[in-house]
Chains A and B, each alone.
Chain A
């Protein structure tokens, strides 16, 4: 099969309820990010944190097309993916705090959040490693013909590691129901796309794997929704994998605390001036899909949920030291 590199087609505009839900997920990601910055800077919790501020549209527009049973493998810069997929705030924040009430009893932390009841199966701290494992989850769907979709989320830097190439090749020859979702935020840690990547655009790499590729403005809700809809339909319909390259821009440095001296200040200022969250907020009001009061209520609810989650985390206990002997193997270590 010849692969086709193009922008998403069709007029797949989400209905009004879906648009409001996409906004809710975007606002949740943005406000959660702002809260992490605030809490870490206050010293109340200490953690390594990789902000995805600026990338809110991508998981928000994709996740409304998924159910809790669909699977996600994401990376250390992936809390936005997981919030969109339904990770509860209390469980998230307790894990960020290393508390026993966290998703992983505090043993995983922000880079290894796991929440199977929402399909959040693996979060990896290693660039590129979400993809080979996503194939295995999707293989089970192919064997069972259950129509479930697995999404492997990763950044532009990950398309230069071997795991990307091995995984795309296998997914293509085995026709697996997986979506390779590249969030191209222009920076691989500190290094620009241009310095590190030979392909003019990552989506071109789909051609080499005989896989449909879609390049999309990942900050445009309707375009991202249309791209996701096409890829999800292909996976559910036994049509095999898709590589999506969603173009976006990371507002912050690689890790919280880095001074982002390597980032182009003009590009960053321009991206922040076009903040996709405030842009979509205006669009919803201008198009009459939501009122200012509707959106303010959504945001206020998120703020109070965050207040609750942060306090829940801080009030929770740390895990018992005996936890170091548990979950190494099924049987506790003597």
Chain B
């Protein structure tokens, strides 16, 4: 897997995304006694999570605040909602995004809606940590990107960090946030290295980032597709095509202003994500671009997503399932950019 912008990191501390999440949780637990971390296998006797993301936290902060749970997603989410109603700030792990299906009633009917249905008397300041992503041969029930479901639910926020500093900063913002935040981790890029975070620094929810400035076309993306899109942009630059690359970082709310300002300059846009295309986030984003900028566009906004099937196990199929740099670059080459 590629690393982000390492050439610029000569004098900067380097760390992984996994370390960024762990440090954000540790700093939040240290700063605020009302922060709790819990979920399946998260405590150290259970090895600090199946991939070690929460390693060390229960040893440092105690097993009352960092707690392993039964394999009971409804009970985990219910406990998170209930304890948050008493002004705690729980970070509840649903190990894999596909397992949110088991807890959908708690998330969609309760976490997302209690503020509204109570007329603002109660709120649910929880963070739901969950990991996903194709590429690790986990097949059809361990790898899906389901962020569209939650972005479609009034009351939920959704973030998808793609770098160590964003992983740290978005986690701190998610814990601070007074509303429920789905924090989506990409399993295959846990060990991706990049510039480390500044301790305590928040990345605001709802704010994207221009990772590469360009003039011919804007690629809007997030999560692991940031790396694929970056590679595509580098390849395209050799063909004389100048790509502006936006990492959205947050899906709900998403940074409309940043995207629209960029596309107003480049007059062409491609939206890339690992979620399936039909009714996916790219549909919403491209519609907004069309509604706001139709007359100035050089051509229709294009979208790339994963194949519309369960994530396949067989390696050649799994590799072909998700978008890749070559396909992204090829799509850009077919777009009218003059």
Contact = CB atoms under 8 A, between A and B. Distances in A.
Contacts of A246: none
A199 interface: no
A330 B120 CA distance: 8
Contacts of B116: 107, 327-328
Contacts of B179: 329-330
A160 B74 CA distance: 14
B78 A121 contact: no
B230 interface: no
Interface residues of A, number: 42
Given A112-B117, A329-B115, A132 B106 contact: yes
Interface string B117-138: 1111111000000000000000
B45 interface: no
Contacts of B82: 73, 121-122, 132-140, 150
Contacts of A167: 74-75, 78
Interface stretch (A123-131, A187-195, A219-227): A123-131
A126 B78 contact: no
A114 B86 contact: no
A314 interface: no
Interface stretch (A6-14, A79-87, A97-105, A302-310): A97-105
B119 A108 contact: yes
A328 B119 contact: no
Contact of B118 (A108, A125, A169): A108
B115 A114 contact: no
A103 B122 CA distance: 12
Give the most central of B88, B106, B119, B120: most A CB within 10 Å.
B119
Contact of B117 (A107, A132, A140, A173): A107
Given A107-B117, A108-B119, A112-B117, A133 B81 contact: yes
Interface in B72-118: 72-75, 77-86, 88, 90, 105-106, 109-110, 114-118
Interface string B151-189: 000110100000000000000000000110000000000
B70 interface: yes
B47 interface: no
Interface in A235-269: none
B75 A102 contact: no
B110 A122 contact: yes
A105 B85 CA distance: 19
Contacts of A150: 82
Contact of A132 (B74, B86, B114, B154): B74
Interface string A145-179: 00000100000000000110011011001000000
A143 B36 CA distance: 11
Contact of A129 (B86, B109, B154): B109
Nearest to B33: A143
Nearest to B103: A132
Contacts of A163: 74-75, 78, 105
Nearest to A144: B86
A116 interface: yes
A106 interface: yes
Contacts of A112: 117-118
Contact of A102 (B80, B85, B119, B157): B119
Given A122-B110, A129-B110, A135 B78 contact: yes
A132 B77 contact: yes
B119 A131 contact: no
Contact of B70 (A73, A124, A173, A326): A173
Contact of B155 (A73, A132, A136, A328): A328
Contacts of B77: 132
B109 A124 contact: yes
A73 B72 CA distance: 20
A52 B139 CA distance: 48
Nearest to B180: A329
Given A122-B85, A137-B82, A169-B70, A129 B105 contact: yes
A319 to B, nearest CB: 8
A124 to B, nearest CB: 7
Contacts of A132: 74-75, 77-79, 81-82, 106
Give the most central of A112, A131, A139: most B CB within 10 Å.
A139
B258 to A, nearest CB: 16
B106 A122 contact: no
A150 B122 CA distance: 16
A126 B81 CA distance: 15
A100 B70 CA distance: 42
A48 B84 CA distance: 29
Contact of B79 (A114, A125, A139, A327): A139
A105 B83 contact: no
A271 B79 CA distance: 37
Contacts of B70: 166, 169-170, 173
B69 interface: yes
Contacts of A126: 105, 109-110
B139 to A, nearest CB: 24
B213 interface: no
A138 B79 CA distance: 9
Contact of B115 (A125, A133, A169, A327): A327
A114 B121 contact: yes
A134 B79 CA distance: 7
Nearest to B83: A136
B121 A136 contact: no
A136 B105 contact: no
Given A125-B109, A150-B82, A167-B75, 18 more contacts: A102-B119, A104-B121, A107-B119, A122-B114, A122-B122, A124-B110, A126-B110, A132-B79, A132-B81, A133-B78, A133-B110, A135-B79, A136-B90, A139-B79, A143-B83, A166-B73, A169-B72, A328-B116
7 contacts: A106-B119, A107-B116, A121-B122, A163-B78, A169-B70, A329-B157, A330-B123
Interface of B: 64, 69-70, 72-75, 77-86, 88, 90, 105-106, 109-110, 114-123, 154-155, 157, 178-179
